[in-house]
Amino acid sequence: MADILNGTFERLGERALALLEDVGKAVFMARSAFRWFMRGHVEIRQTATQCMRIGSDSLPVTAMTSFFTGMVLALQSGTTSQYIFNEPLYVGTVVGFSVVMELGPVLTAMVVAGRGGAAIAAEIGTMKVTEQIDALNTLGTGPIRYLVIPRYLACLFTLPILTVFSAASGICGGMIVSVWKLGIPSTVYSGDIWNFMKIHHFMHGYLKSYVFAFVIATVSCHRGLQTTGGAEGVGKSTTAAVVVSMVSILLLDYFATAVLVAFGI
């Protein structure tokens, strides 16, 4: 029994050390990217290409996800308030606040992590196992400057914009259900949003999208650069990038919310 416990603690210790080592490497990579960026070393063409791949290609999926999420929120909140108060009340407020402050940023980040993050990890991982990154180092073009910084900038630029479109799509979905299913006039639905929502409520979700974008770019680029083992390693790195990004988004969502609320945002 003692041997089993000792072995378990040893494995947990090894995993903890490996996790800390991974975090340290990711922080070092992010620091290097920031230093290169501050020197003005930005690949404009690569950044524009990544913005198209991560941003515009993810827009239909994020919009559709938030649209149906808004429909479900409106249906659930409307039927619940109808059951309690005999009429649907403040459906626009519930849908608007939920989508703008919480579900819009989180769902958008999840979709981008599953689509854009996987693509980033797979592309960089493939370059790593085929020794293309070694070739970049030989030519004097560092992988941080040529590969990492454009993906950081693309995530930080496109994810907040996708979040805004996602929130608008969710509110439109909720309006359709409110009007056609619950019998709420569109003026009442939109009035519930405009009368109660302030600019700091919008900024709450908008600022969180930058945190999620940084996490997605850091995890995906780090897992791609750490890829080993050929095609199998690329698959493992891609899966790890998506899983770690999604878990990190959910964890940081709470802490980011707590910080923003503490500052009155």
Cα–Cα distance between 161 and 154 in angstroms, integer? 11
What distance, in Å, lies between the first and last C-alpha atoms of the chain? 52
**What is the predicted pLDDT for the residue at 7?**
58
Long-range contacts of 71-74 (CB under 8 A, 24+ apart): 71/173, 71/174, 71/176, 71/177, 73/98, 73/99, 73/103, 73/170, 73/174, 74/173, 74/174, 74/175, 74/177, 74/178, 74/181, 74/182
**What is the predicted pLDDT for the residue at 156?**
93
Got the DSSP string for 12-76?
A: HHHHHHHHHHHHHHHHHHHHHHHHHHHTT---HHHHHHHHIIIIITTHHHHHHHHHHHHHHHHHH
- Do residues 215 and 119 make contact, with C-beta atoms less than 8 angstroms apart? no
Q: Structure pTM?
A: 0.90
Per-residue pLDDT of 102-129, as tens digits, reads 999 999 999 999 989 999 999 999 888 8
189 membership: H or E segment, kind and range: helix 186-196
| Sequence-ordered list of residues with C-beta below 8 angstroms from that of 129, at least 6 positions apart, any chain | 227, 228, 229, 230, 231, 233, 234
Determine what percent of the chain is predicted with pLDDT higher than 70. 94
Q: Position of tokens 């439109």?
A: 172
227: phi > 0 → left, psi -120 to 50 → alpha, else beta; which? beta
Sort 131 into a burial class: Cβ within 10 Å, 0-12 / 13-18 / 19+: exposed
Sort 61 into a burial class: Cβ within 10 Å, 0-12 / 13-18 / 19+: middle
**What is the predicted pLDDT for the residue at 44?**
85
Dihedrals phi, psi of 227, to nearest 5 degrees: -70, 135
Distances (CA, A) of 21 to 14, 18, 26, 154, 250: 10, 5, 9, 26, 22
* pLDDT < 70 regions, the chain: 1-14, 140-141
Per-residue pLDDT of 155-165, as tens digits, reads 999 999 999 99
- Do residues 58 and 112 make contact, with C-beta atoms less than 8 angstroms apart? yes
Per-residue pLDDT of 5-41, as tens digits, reads 555 656 666 677 777 777 777 888 888 888 878 887 7
